[in-house]
Amino acid sequence: MEVDVLVIGWGKGGKTLAGALGRHGRTVAMVEQSEAMYGGSCINIACVPTKDLVHSAAERRPGDDPQTWFTDAVAGRDDLTARLRARNHAMLAEVDTVTLIDGRARFVGPHEVEVSAGSELLRIRAESIVINTGTVPAVPAIAGASESARVYDSTTIQHVSPLPERLLIVGGGYVGLEFAGMFAHFGSRVTVVDHGEQLMPHEDRDVADAVRALLEESGVEFVLGADVKRIEDRPDALSVTVASGGAINDFTADAVLVATGRTPTTDGLDLDNAGIAVDDRGYIVVDDHLRTPVPGVFAVGDINGGPQFTYISLDDHRIVLDQLVGKGLRSRADRVAVPSTVFLTPPLARVGMNETQARASGRAVLVASKRIADIAAMPRPKIVGETHGLIKVLVDPDTDLILGATVFSIDAQEVINLLALAMRAGVTATTLRDGIWTHPSSTEALNEVLAGLS
């Protein structure tokens, strides 16, 4: 088979590219090894289903049976992902010039791939190839972990059965914290074990302390400066051996979630056959235009080692599309003020520098910070009964421009987008402070918070 473009993997960047190029009249082959991943990780195992579960967990009332609520929540999650998966498949199947192929791809040359499906083999040659195979949860070397069916990763824990009464999470990063809050709200007793001496070391201490207080209020316990050494599968539970401060302690858990990062899925692609290089972490090496050293071969999404967000993968598609049908000018260097959100309850969102980074840069900084519960001109949190968190904005005193912001509040994932846009467009803090915002909303908090710059 010969096509103009071959896309390997149904991630956000790959599927969007396939559709866009197909509508431009290019012949496109889309190869995916798993029917369960039509549409990519985001809608099937990551962003959408996990946030659906976070929302369901937060809706559970004290009198609701934890197991029943969790079972119903998982069923709702599965129904949502099935509908999204079917729609994503149809969106490409409807494009006449796009051919969808089920199978596992491996390179046999710089522009030739062999796809296997059972005993069937198909050779595909393409002038342009886009690798979009993503990442999978990393597997740390913990004795006994791989032998137990009660040790889960961030994908498999979404279908844990029964709901664990006691859940131990290895890793206090953003994924681990999202699941900690989620399962605590579902009714599990959660313990987070993390190697670091401080929770969320890349955040300001006031923000990290506020997050920890929120989770502890939900019943989450933290064991920091600790390492899980062994997991022993016993008839009625797991015994987890944890080393901390020279001491060894055993914890009992019904399930263990390992949330220690992700690793690239390059195994089996036989990249060497095409001369495609990977870095020391296994990610495909690309330039700012997402080009590999092999002309015409690109890598988009998590597999290229960039920030692991679906909206970054979407922007990756724009860069490659510009290479293939545009002027070829767009690049990763164009990205300014990219926001991120950790979906706790309420969410924690950030853009630009935090206070620690801003002061370390040696520049003068004005800081406006206020607890959500103390913001009189922001009644929405009180209306919905969620007043945890804070808003913190950093401003350059010479230009009045936003250097960075942290929003730990209901609607944080929305408010941070406004602040990010302000940073990209050069909108001043004064303009935001004096803005006319709808009421009651979360955005109107900027009126009061920014009035306290000092």
User: Which pLDDT tens digit goes with each residue over 138-186?
Assistant: 999 999 999 999 999 999 999 999 999 999 999 999 999 999 999 999 9
DSSP 337-366: S--EEE--SS-EEEEE--HHHHHHTT---E
Average pLDDT score over residue span 7-28:
97
Q: What pLDDT is recorded for position 70?
A: 98
Residue pair 18/92 in contact (Cβ under 8 Å)? The answer is yes
- Domains of the chain by range and CATH? 2-135+263-334 (3.50.50.60), 151-260 (3.50.50.60), 340-450 (3.30.390.30)
Summarize pLDDT for 99-115 with one digit per residue, the tens.
Answer: 999 999 999 999 999 99
Q: How far apart are CA 373 and CA 409, in angstroms?
A: 10
Calculate the average pLDDT of the chain: 97
- For a pLDDT cut of 70, what percent of the chain falls above it? 100
Q: What pLDDT is recorded for position 107?
A: 98
pLDDT classification of 264: cutoffs 50, 70, 90? very high
Q: Does residue 305 contact residue 264 with C-beta atoms inside 8 Å?
A: yes
pLDDT for the residue 336: 97
Mean pLDDT of 194-206: 97
Q: What is the pLDDT of residues 339-354, one digit of tens each?
A: 999 999 999 999 999 9
Annotated binding site: 51, 171-178, 261, 302
Q: Would you state the pLDDT for residue 271?
A: 98
Give the mean pLDDT of 245-249: 93
The β-bridge relationship of strands 226-233 and 402-408 is unpaired
Question: For the CA atoms of the chain, what is the radius of gyration?
Answer: 24
**CA dihedral (31, 37, 43, 48) positive or negative:** negative
Q: For the CA atoms of 430, 435, 439, 444, what is the dihedral angle to 10 degrees?
A: -20
**373-426 pLDDT per residue, tens:** 999 999 999 999 999 999 999 999 999 999 999 999 999 999 999 999 999 999
What pTM does this model have? 0.96
Query: Which residues does the annotation place in the binding site for NAD(+)?
Result: 171-178, 261
Q: Length of the chain, please?
A: 454
Report how far residue 52's alpha carbon sits from residue 49's, in angstroms, rounded to the nearest whole number. Answer: 5
pLDDT digits (tens, 9 = 90+) for 63-91: 999 999 999 999 999 999 999 999 999 99
- Which residue reads 């998982």 in tokens? 74
Q: Which one has a higher pLDDT value, 246 or 285?
A: 285
Q: How confident is the model at residue 338 (pLDDT cuts 50, 70, 90)?
A: very high
The average pLDDT across 212-239 equals: 97
Q: Residue 79: which residues within 8 A CB-CB, separation 6 or more?
A: none
User: What confidence score (pLDDT) does residue 305 get?
Assistant: 97
Please say whether the beta carbons of 437 and 447 come within 8 A. yes
> Taking residues 18-34, what's their average pLDDT?
98
What confidence tier does 23 reach under pLDDT thresholds 50, 70, 90? very high
pLDDT at 73: 98
Those residues with Cβ within 8 angstroms of residue 417's Cβ, 6 or more apart along the chain or in another chain: 339
pLDDT band at 59 (very low <50, low <70, confident <90, very high): very high
Which sequence positions are flagged as catalytic?
439
> Which residues carry a binding-site annotation for FAD?
51, 302
